[in-house]
Amino acid sequence: MARKFFVGGNWKCNGTSEEVKKIVSTLNDGQVASADVVDVVVSPPFVFLPLVKSSLRPDFQVAAQNCWVKKGGAYTGEISAEMLLNLDIPWVILGHSERRLLLGESNEFVGDKVAYALSKGLKVIACVGETLEQRESGATVEVVAAQTKAIAERISDWTNVVLAYEPVWAIGTGKVATPAQAQEVHYELRKWLQINVSVEVAESTRIIYGGSVNGANCKELAAQPDVDGFLVGGASLKVCILIVLLKVPL
């Protein structure tokens, strides 16, 4: 089954309104693959979502970097799925390692968030990945399987889920998994879905890679059979990098 390539840019906690306007302008002027061939999703900080949504070219999509686990209410500082839908934001990133590690989000909590966001009509980029200690102890597959299992136990429809494998040891470090390492984990994730969910879900679910992706390494990574795209972090603020990624032969 052919899977549509996916390129996401996670801007994290960066930018000013003027910087964001410059990034959007460059993206709007870029010559990239057709929306029929690749999904392009950029994820600015919450405060810039309306600006980006209103000014970004319509064949590109916008994602929030997080949302709350239930309907809005007395949850100071949180943003609900309903609020994102009200702004016509179609995507949300959930389970990023920085939230798991810095804010203590458990596998179960992330699974609940994914289920709630999907139930409200959002599309979800669900992140999984292991720390360096976990990789060196040989627990990579066990860790990402447990993270995926917590999601699978709570949802029945995977149509609007993209899995993002982001080895924690490669995020913002300049280190990157080799194409063989990335392919190995993506293959194991797809096999886990086949055994524990269904063959159809395993074949159709896009599994993208994140972790120090750049213009120099993206082509070889994209050539791997189970790598369906990228979630780019800091490098996506350098729009030329994102445009290079979009031009990767598919």
Judge whether 37 and 5 are in contact, CB under 8 Å: yes
Instruction: Compute the distance between CA of residue 242 and CA of residue 185 in angstroms, rounded to an integer.
Output: 24
Please say if 96 is a catalytic residue.
yes
Judge whether 162 and 124 are in contact, CB under 8 Å: yes
Catalytic entry in 96, 98, 105, 130: 96
Instruction: Compute the distance between CA of residue 165 and CA of residue 186 in angstroms, rounded to an integer.
Output: 7
Q: How far is CA 179 from the centre of its chain?
A: 18
Q: Taking Cα atoms as reference points, which of 196, 134, 194, 189 lies closest to residue 162?
A: 189
Catalytic entry in 98, 105, 130, 166: 166
Gyration radius of the chain over CA positions: 17
Judge whether 148 and 189 are in contact, CB under 8 Å: yes
Instruction: Compute the distance between CA of residue 57 and CA of residue 39 in angstroms, rounded to an integer.
Output: 13
Q: Which residues are catalytic?
A: 96, 166
